[in-house]
Amino acid sequence: MAEGADIAGRKSDHIDIVLAASPSESDRIATGLEAVRFEHCALPELSLAEIDVSAAFFAKRLKAPLLISSMTGGPERAARINAHLAEAAEELGIALAVGSQRIAIEGRASGGLDASLRRRAPSIPILANIGAAQLVLGYGRNEAMRAVEMIGADALIVHLNPLQEAVQAGGDTDWRGVLGKIGTLARELAVPLVVKEVGAGISASLARRLVDLGVAAIDVAGAGGTSWAAVEAERAADARLKRTAMVFADWGIPTARAIAEARAACPDTLLIGSGGLKTGLDVARAIRLGADLCGQAAASLAAADHSSEAVVAHFAAVVEELRIACFCTGSTDLKALKRAPLINPPDLAG
Amino acid sequence: MAEGADIAGRKSDHIDIVLAASPSESDRIATGLEAVRFEHCALPELSLAEIDVSAAFFAKRLKAPLLISSMTGGPERAARINAHLAEAAEELGIALAVGSQRIAIEGRASGGLDASLRRRAPSIPILANIGAAQLVLGYGRNEAMRAVEMIGADALIVHLNPLQEAVQAGGDTDWRGVLGKIGTLARELAVPLVVKEVGAGISASLARRLVDLGVAAIDVAGAGGTSWAAVEAERAADARLKRTAMVFADWGIPTARAIAEARAACPDTLLIGSGGLKTGLDVARAIRLGADLCGQAAASLAAADHSSEAVVAHFAAVVEELRIACFCTGSTDLKALKRAPLINPPDLAG
Amino acid sequence: MAEGADIAGRKSDHIDIVLAASPSESDRIATGLEAVRFEHCALPELSLAEIDVSAAFFAKRLKAPLLISSMTGGPERAARINAHLAEAAEELGIALAVGSQRIAIEGRASGGLDASLRRRAPSIPILANIGAAQLVLGYGRNEAMRAVEMIGADALIVHLNPLQEAVQAGGDTDWRGVLGKIGTLARELAVPLVVKEVGAGISASLARRLVDLGVAAIDVAGAGGTSWAAVEAERAADARLKRTAMVFADWGIPTARAIAEARAACPDTLLIGSGGLKTGLDVARAIRLGADLCGQAAASLAAADHSSEAVVAHFAAVVEELRIACFCTGSTDLKALKRAPLINPPDLAG
Amino acid sequence: MAEGADIAGRKSDHIDIVLAASPSESDRIATGLEAVRFEHCALPELSLAEIDVSAAFFAKRLKAPLLISSMTGGPERAARINAHLAEAAEELGIALAVGSQRIAIEGRASGGLDASLRRRAPSIPILANIGAAQLVLGYGRNEAMRAVEMIGADALIVHLNPLQEAVQAGGDTDWRGVLGKIGTLARELAVPLVVKEVGAGISASLARRLVDLGVAAIDVAGAGGTSWAAVEAERAADARLKRTAMVFADWGIPTARAIAEARAACPDTLLIGSGGLKTGLDVARAIRLGADLCGQAAASLAAADHSSEAVVAHFAAVVEELRIACFCTGSTDLKALKRAPLINPPDLAG
Ligand SMILES: Cc1cc2nc3c(=O)[nH]c(=O)nc-3n(C[C@H](O)[C@H](O)[C@H](O)COP(=O)(O)O)c2cc1C
Ligand SMILES: Cc1cc2nc3c(=O)[nH]c(=O)nc-3n(C[C@H](O)[C@H](O)[C@H](O)COP(=O)(O)O)c2cc1C
Ligand SMILES: Cc1cc2nc3c(=O)[nH]c(=O)nc-3n(C[C@H](O)[C@H](O)[C@H](O)COP(=O)(O)O)c2cc1C
Ligand SMILES: Cc1cc2nc3c(=O)[nH]c(=O)nc-3n(C[C@H](O)[C@H](O)[C@H](O)COP(=O)(O)O)c2cc1C
């Protein structure tokens, strides 16, 4: 219980730190998406209103290729945030990934991660979430299915966060055997398994190995957006931890590169591009580089903390920007956008 | 009528916003012209006074390869601005493109776009102007000829502005069929047809398609100067529109690249280089990259708002700078300037 | 004696200047290490606690691949600093290189460079230190052995500092014959001979020549960290000297390049990477480029001036950062780290 | 006479403007020399004191490869400055180029450009100076010999300044026939003919043509130092002239490139590198790129305005810096320096 309170406090800290993200953040590593520039099409033979930005997520269809990325909060705050996100995702017709269900699985507090979530979002894809570190500590098929069933999820995310664990006091840093356990889950689970990072990126070689083990989708969650090392540095009480976390604030594979390389390594896998995406133009760029869907966490957090209307308004803007990017590249749908010509494309070939 | 008042107010806003362009604009995307550096010729075997910067515009001859680019204003303001521009263009012997004639065609207000314009500028080329969006809304050969005849124009410009339409409230964003209508106009019109953008550039492939349809000249109007997304962001009342417009403030093909690529794709077409040209040195660079004529809108707007003398003085400086660029590259005329050696030329090959 | 006091004063100045290093220093030349970016491994099949960062230093084994780089101070200050460093190095299990023993050899003051040093650090490698300039002024095998024996050293460093000598008043700048004397020392000395720079780097061709003469290890001490020209500029009384020293403040081979090139030229030599290393991530980068061990002077000076506990804490952080770099690249030991994939590696091939 | 007073006033303005050069100048175009980085030689088998930096200037030998570049001033000021420079050049054993002798040739005022100059500097090379514009206005062999004899010069410089003439009110901009007149002078003159620019550089192709016409030496005087367009902009009374001059403030071939290309085109010609050289390290870089001698104007002007001692002190520092650059690259003389290895050399091949 003490540990539970501890985790809960930590999660709430995270939200406050991300929301307060200082301008100095802009000095940090970039996603690389800013270097992806589309060639303008001055004469699109299209109607903006008719552009089709829908996308498939396994059996379901999304109105836009978007996923609200996993975010945990402290128990009361989480409940509110999750309710806002679920209602908004349903209205928007986009996917929702919940934050880590560790506390909920351990039965200590649900934070809104229960049947109420699915009631708020009956039709859209919902993704459950557990951490690789939990797999080490003994989680297996049973706990995974509990996470899925608790919220009626369509798929399960396992998140990989070795750096975050390494730069925090008491993090779980014995990761031996995790790959095997992911393989077992992929085989035994009733729903598709998705593996994601949390802001440092998944390399092409790891993506390939995971897909070979049966993982159904990869969310690169690359560097350039939320930096967990920077967040943990902000939280760190002791100077040594703070220094060490800051040393790794820029660690990671930038999102643009992570997407391009994972797509090259896994041509047929469902690929989620995320990490530092801010606008619908960023979404268009990520799709151009090979993403099928795009995720966003930090950029939607303020809206999530506020109301479901705010979340709807935020993502409506993102969708409109994506549509304009399609319009001004003459792309009638996302398939066309994936082939839109670029100006002076960055070399992301490895 | 209400709509007319509305458009008129919008146009006057545009002028004020462009005139007030904040210094922060300098953070924005560049034309790419600044990277075009001429090799100095320390011993030009020339007389500066004898350098020939004249250029052909279809049947007429210009004293300098310059075009005052299309600018609309609100009705009273437009009348004054157009009078200044016409008198100055006549004195300078350069071409004048008028702003959109939509309001005038619809008979609501002429803004100086009537027979008085040609009286003020009897000898120079005058270019009429309608928008691609008007073609969608039903304009055809008749309206086009009305635009031409109203001001005794030598040619008609159709401007393409899909981004501007997309980022403003209530813009015209159904562009299906525009290409076909342009082809029809090109065939049926009594005067040459020119197609231009308004600051986001025309790609090489589109330029080629337009020329194949019979378009007589292309004005690239590339990115790096006036950004209509930024202007509309400034005007936007609602926060969502403002955000979305800002996302696209840097969209577009930079002018230098647009010129070089259009020239490569259309070796024999009359090519107008424009978008962010400020000085006669910029004009020299655009010509070096392949432009036959150069257009300028925003940089001449303050003078246009002031007096015809101010416009003459402004363009006289531009011409003198172009002549000095010829002198210091040892170029006796614009044909020679097109072959002047460059230092470390930027790679604009696509 | 007067000269001794003079040297002593100078050395104490050096420490104060390095400790006060102004932020403007950050405008100066970079080590090049910042451009070495590891590919993140999101799923290390490792336990952070089990990662092996031990390294060999000739016959001895270090707990981490670290060397405290040579630093002299004025006599009393030096004694304190050397005591702190020796106690800390022993506790940490890392190597300690002492500062120049010139004053001590000449019997004028020991500054802690006597048998007490070895008593404080009985097990770790200790490196004695003399300057190339001393070789010119007559030092030979006898003085070298006195330096080694005085502190029970495992090896002897000869430092090369031509720039520092050249930009200071009365520096020793007749270096004819130094190479031959180093060759003789390498043959005749009972302990291994190490040659280092002091912050301007050792080139690949010189490294190769030194190794061919029998030198057992090279410490590149490249540019990007302490700049002796800048330090001497700070100290210079007369304006001419200050100006001339500043002209050379950015002189030298950046550390990253120096390491990569020396490793390519001397594939089997013990190579110490140093010059501007600040964090354990810098150490990981230097090792990735080819260093076997890494040295740090300025970054540890404040701790050294304070207490042995501060030195232990400082290097413990460095070691932890190195371990995290191993963990997040999936490297089980330093041998694996040397092969860890990089993102967009800088071209350091010459 | 009125015209003479006018020129005199203008020249004095120039000096004040150059002396007051604002820090904003540092935003301007760079010489390119800053990108030339020597590989450090940590073990020079040399004595700094024995390094030979002497150089040949036609029949005479200089103690260092330096030329004080041509500078005119108003009449009284010029006399003082020229006296200081002559005494200092004699003491330093370096060459002295005087400023334009136009006023003196026309017999209106000598500004110290008379027999007194040679008395102050009996042994060193002195270079006379006339402008290309004067050749157009009728100067020929007679005026040229008068310039040479008036000061007992060893050679005659003809300076080319088309940009400076073009951006000033009433400049001489009819340059037809200048090349032929230079050829005639080269054939007919009793002393070697040197051709220089004044800060915009001489291209490789022009250098080659001049040499083919019999010109004995080229002084590139490239961009990155004094910009005459910027100086004239500062002086310009009317806004149009000021604007136009500023447009060309960054015009020209950067010094580093100009030297490298001229050397490639003229492998055996005496080549003077100048334009923005500040330190002896810049001199070393220019020599490494192919210069035989190096010139400096603006950087020595403050000293020249002060006293001959100040000039001696200034150039003594430059020489010492050049010697240190030789020492720290292991170069025993300038011939060796020309082959010293560079780090990551800039591509100046055209
Ligand atoms: C407040 C917050 C909480 C998060 N909690 C989780 C989590 O519980 N599980 C997870 O897989 N990722 C979590 N993440 C990581 C995000 O899902 C995402 O991968 C990362 O923030 C990068 O995306 P961004 O730059 O759009 O924020 C969290 C992110 C934030 C900002
Ligand atoms: C105030 C203003 C009004 C404009 N109105 C029109 C117009 O009515 N029709 C048109 O084709 N372009 C119009 N433009 C676009 C310009 O013709 C030009 O293509 C664009 O501004 C880029 O050039 P610049 O960077 O020199 O301003 C306008 C531009 C400005 C600044
Ligand atoms: C205060 C101070 C004193 C030094 N004294 C010596 C010395 O006596 N002998 C020597 O070989 N290097 C000496 N050095 C140079 C260092 O060993 C090292 O090569 C150089 O400072 C570059 O490393 P850094 O950037 O980590 O400081 C000294 C450095 C400092 C900062
Ligand atoms: C005050 C001043 C006067 C000059 N007058 C002349 C001149 O009369 N003749 C000439 O050939 N160059 C003249 N120059 C140009 C210089 O000789 C030199 O080519 C140019 O300034 C570039 O070198 P710098 O960057 O070292 O100043 C003058 C330069 C200065 C600063």
All residues of chain A having their beta carbon less than 8 Å from the beta carbon of residue B173 are 47-49, 327
Atom nearest to B70 CA in ligand 2: 17
| Range in A108-112, A305-309, C50-54 the model is least confident about | A108-112
| Range in A74-83, B150-159, C171-180 the model is least confident about | A74-83
Closest residue by Cα to atom 19, ligand 1, is A198
Tell me the nearest-neighbour CA distance from C92 into chain A, angstroms: 16
Instruction: Give the residue from C33, C34, C38, C41 with the most A CB atoms within 10 Å of its CB, the best one to mutate.
Output: C41
Tell me the nearest-neighbour CA distance from A279 into chain B, angstroms: 7
> Does C322 reach chain A within 8 Å, measured CB to CB?
no
What topology does CATH give the domain B1-343? TIM Barrel (3.20.20)
Q: Is A159 in the pocket of ligand 1 (CB under 6 A)?
A: yes
Whether residue C23 is predicted with pLDDT greater than 70 in this model: the reply is: no
**Per-residue pLDDT, C86:** 98
Atom nearest to B159 CA in ligand 2: 11
Whether residue D195 is predicted with pLDDT greater than 60 in this model: the reply is: yes
Tell me the nearest-neighbour CA distance from A44 into chain B, angstroms: 6
Q: Nearest-CA neighbor of D207 among B284, B346, B39, B336?
A: B39
Whether residue A243 is predicted with pLDDT greater than 50 in this model: the reply is: yes
% residues pLDDT > 90 (chain D): 84
Cβ of B48 within 8 Å of Cβ of D179? The answer is no
Whether residue A1 is predicted with pLDDT greater than 60 in this model: the reply is: no
More confident of the two residues D75 and D326: D326
This prediction's pTM: 0.96
Q: Nearest-CA neighbor of D34 among D348, D349, D350?
A: D348
Option in D43, D47, D280 nearest C206 (CB): D43
Q: CB–CB of C100/C129 below 8 Å? A: yes
* CB-based contacts of C309, cutoff 8 Å, min separation 6: C88
Local confidence band at D241 (pLDDT 50, 70, 90 cut-offs): very high
* Average pLDDT of span C23-45: 87
Q: How far is CA B333 from CA B279, B330, B338, B341, D2, in A?
A: 18, 9, 9, 14, 36
All residues of chain B having their beta carbon less than 8 Å from the beta carbon of residue A316 are 240
Cβ of B162 within 8 Å of Cβ of A39? The answer is no
Q: Nearest-CA neighbor of D332 among D55, D51, D47, D63?
A: D51
Which ligand is nearest the CA of C42, by number? 1
**Per-residue pLDDT, B27:** 67
> Does C279 reach chain A within 8 Å, measured CB to CB?
yes
Place of tokens 């810096």: D321
* Average pLDDT of span D306-330: 98
Q: Is B273 in the pocket of ligand 2 (CB under 6 A)?
A: no
- Phi and psi angles of residue C38, each rounded to the nearest 5 degrees, phi first: -80, 145
Pairing state of beta strands D293-296 and D66-68? Answer: parallel
**Per-residue pLDDT, A22:** 57
**Per-residue pLDDT, D24:** 46
- Which ranges in chain C belong to alpha helices (H)? 2-19, 75-92, 102-105, 115-120, 132-136, 141-150, 162-167, 178-188, 204-212, 228-235, 239-247, 255-265, 280-289, 298-306, 308-327, 334-337
Q: CB–CB of D127/D99 below 8 Å? A: no
Which ligand is nearest the CA of A275, by number? 1
Which ligand is nearest the CA of A297, by number? 1
Local confidence band at D1 (pLDDT 50, 70, 90 cut-offs): very low
| Range in A166-170, B257-261, D191-195 the model is least confident about | A166-170
All residues of chain C having their beta carbon less than 8 Å from the beta carbon of residue D344 are 257
A positions 20-59 inside 8 Å of B (CB) = 38-50
Atom nearest to D231 CA in ligand 4: 31
% residues pLDDT > 70 (chain D): 95
All residues of chain C having their beta carbon less than 8 Å from the beta carbon of residue A203 are 39-42, 341
**Per-residue pLDDT, B23:** 42
Whether residue A23 is predicted with pLDDT greater than 80 in this model: the reply is: no
Pairing state of beta strands D217-219 and D193-196? Answer: parallel
**Angle value at C-alpha B209, between B207 and B214, nearest 5 degrees:** 95
**Per-residue pLDDT, B2:** 39
Place of tokens 């008042």: B5
**Per-residue pLDDT, B18:** 84
Tell me the nearest-neighbour CA distance from A276 into chain B, angstroms: 15
> Does B223 reach chain A within 8 Å, measured CB to CB?
yes
Q: Which helix (H) or strand (E) holds A60?
A: strand A60-62
Residue A174: closest CA among chain C residues belongs to which residue? C47
All residues of chain D having their beta carbon less than 8 Å from the beta carbon of residue C168 are none
C211-238 pLDDT, tens digit per residue, is 999 999 999 999 999 999 999 999 898 9
Chains D and A touch (3+ CB pairs under 8 A): no
> Does D201 reach chain B within 8 Å, measured CB to CB?
yes
Whether residue C145 is predicted with pLDDT greater than 70 in this model: the reply is: yes
ipTM of model: 0.95
Q: Is D164 in the pocket of ligand 4 (CB under 6 A)?
A: no
Q: What length is written for chain A?
A: 350
**Angle value at C-alpha B320, between B315 and B325, nearest 5 degrees:** 125
- For chain C, the distance separating the N- and C-terminal CA atoms, rounded to the nearest angstrom, is 46
DSSP D13-62: HHHHHHHT--GGGGGS---SGGG-EEPP-SS--SBGGG-B--EEETTEEE
Cβ of D328 within 8 Å of Cβ of C163? The answer is yes
> Does D341 reach chain C within 8 Å, measured CB to CB?
yes
Counting one residue from chain A and one from chain C, the pairs whose CB atoms sit within 8 A come to: 87
Q: Is C168 in the pocket of ligand 3 (CB under 6 A)?
A: no
Local confidence band at C11 (pLDDT 50, 70, 90 cut-offs): confident
Q: What is the mean pLDDT of chain C?
A: 93
> Does D203 reach chain C within 8 Å, measured CB to CB?
no
Q: What is the mean pLDDT of chain D?
A: 93
**Per-residue pLDDT, D18:** 83
% residues pLDDT > 90 (chain A): 84
Q: Which two tokens stand for residue B259?
A: 């010129």
Q: Is C72 in the pocket of ligand 3 (CB under 6 A)?
A: yes
**Per-residue pLDDT, C1:** 34
d(CA B245, ligand 1 centre) in Å = 28
d(CA B238, ligand 1 centre) in Å = 30
D266-303 pLDDT, tens digit per residue, is 999 999 999 999 999 999 999 999 999 999 999 999 99
Amino acid identity of D29?
Answer: I
Q: Which chains touch C (3 or more CB pairs under 8 A)?
A: A, D
DSSP designation for C192: -
Task: Give just the sign of the alpha carbon dihedral B318, B319, B320, B326.
Answer: positive
> Does A190 reach chain B within 8 Å, measured CB to CB?
no
Rounded CA separation B275/D222 (Å): 31
Residue D159: closest CA among chain B residues belongs to which residue? B42
Residue D85 counted as an annotated binding residue = no
d(CA C313, ligand 4 centre) in Å = 59
Q: Which chains touch A (3 or more CB pairs under 8 A)?
A: B, C
**Per-residue pLDDT, C2:** 39
Q: Which two tokens stand for residue C207?
A: 């490294």
Residue B88, classed as helix, strand or coil, is helix
Per-residue pLDDT of chain B (350 residues; tens, 9 = 90+): 334 557 777 777 888 888 887 544 556 889 999 999 999 999 999 999 999 999 999 999 999 999 999 998 767 788 999 999 999 999 999 999 999 999 999 887 888 899 999 999 999 999 999 999 899 889 999 999 999 999 999 999 999 999 999 999 999 999 999 999 999 999 999 999 999 999 999 999 999 999 999 999 999 999 999 999 999 999 898 999 999 999 999 999 999 999 999 999 999 999 999 999 999 999 999 999 999 999 999 999 999 999 999 999 999 999 999 999 999 999 999 999 999 999 999 998 64
d(CA D71, ligand 4 centre) in Å = 5
Local confidence band at D4 (pLDDT 50, 70, 90 cut-offs): low
Cβ of D251 within 8 Å of Cβ of B40? The answer is yes
Tell me the nearest-neighbour CA distance from B331 into chain D, angstroms: 13
Q: Is C125 in the pocket of ligand 3 (CB under 6 A)?
A: no
Q: CB–CB of C293/C62 below 8 Å? A: yes
Rounded CA separation A270/A157 (Å): 13
Q: Is A99 in the pocket of ligand 1 (CB under 6 A)?
A: yes
Option in A279, A328, A343 nearest B163 (CB): A328
